[in-house]
Structure 1
């Protein structure tokens, strides 16, 4: 059983507006991301800020969880999402965000396949994540083993660490060369109005 955690609780400071509500293909961006994931995942958990208003996701296999710490950062949302998936018996999960405008089902399936292949070689591997040639990591485009990842993430939180990337600095992570991805556009950032406009142009050109 595969699932996904989608982070939607960021402050969107650089964008200047809640990215979950940006219109993409005639619908809110969060719905676009959930629609893509719905073709690959049995359950999608959206992690939000307490009291945050989200677009309607009726008709999708979605459950919402709220961050336990206000402005706690992405690791708090990941832990909340993974806890819900674990409670539902989900074993593998894709970690993503509500602003992944160029996300594709092909990318999600590829990352799941990379994790499963790595686990066949070494059952201790708990994540497969893209890495750029310059060393930049993409933890919010990764596939993870829910139980193992949750244990490592909760341990980091217990130590007072809030950076999601800390959980990925371990020998048990399978690094995937970003250049080898079937759909490199899935990693394109969406943090500023200029980046958003570039993604809109890309979508229009398809």
Structure 2
């Protein structure tokens, strides 16, 4: 029988948040900084949970009682964070979520974990654009060579890796739960949904 790799969690919080104008990981949507809220949400699904970050964010994350994973690749965004995670523990699967998904709920994580297919490279939700969403995905250890191949070919697109390989794609019962908040206008719309 195929051994199912252990699952680690990775909260993507190392972006510069240029469109938002301030760190998206520090926005308080649920009573604490979003990167911490997401890390806490992943704890019941994962053996270990890491917050992916830039070097200048590391101290604040560890001082808050969380485990930081500094990106080894600068300017590659989520792709670099994924590579850094696999470099740390290449035999683990990684449940990856972006910190800018304020409406992500336990029901979606339950579905993702319950319908995980460890035989394929990844299990992902279909995004709001109808394409697999790489920032709410379980990446299996078999994804690591595909990411390295993409990097060698000059690509730094995690979505491109998903599109070029056989993966499991799940349908969400609530696409709004997978909405990214990258700008102040998008944040204002989401704030209205909290009211």
- TM norm structure 1: 0.81
1:172, CA displacement in angstroms? 1.5
Give the aligned partner of residue 149 of structure 1: 143
| CA shift digits 1:115-146 (9 cap, x unpaired) | 23xx4xxx3x111112247533311111221x
- Show the 5 A alignment for 1:32-181: 32-52=37-57, 54-55=60-61, 56-58=63-65, 62-86=66-90, 90=92, 92-116=93-117, 119=118, 123=119, 125-132=120-127, 134-145=129-140, 147-177=141-171, 181=172
Checking the alignment, whether the CA contact within 8 Å between 1:130 and 1:137 is kept in structure 2 is: yes
Checking the alignment, whether the CA contact within 8 Å between 2:74 and 2:80 is kept in structure 1 is: no
- Number of residue pairs matched by the alignment: 188
Residue number among 4, 25, 33 corresponding to 2:30 in the alignment: 25
Give the aligned partner of residue 189 of structure 2: 198
1:192, CA displacement in angstroms? 0.8
1:156, CA displacement in angstroms? 1.1
In structure 2, list runs of 5 or more residues that go unmatched. Answer: 1-5
Secondary structure of the 1:129 match is: strand
In structure 1, list runs of 5 or more residues that go unmatched. Answer: none
- TM norm structure 2: 0.85
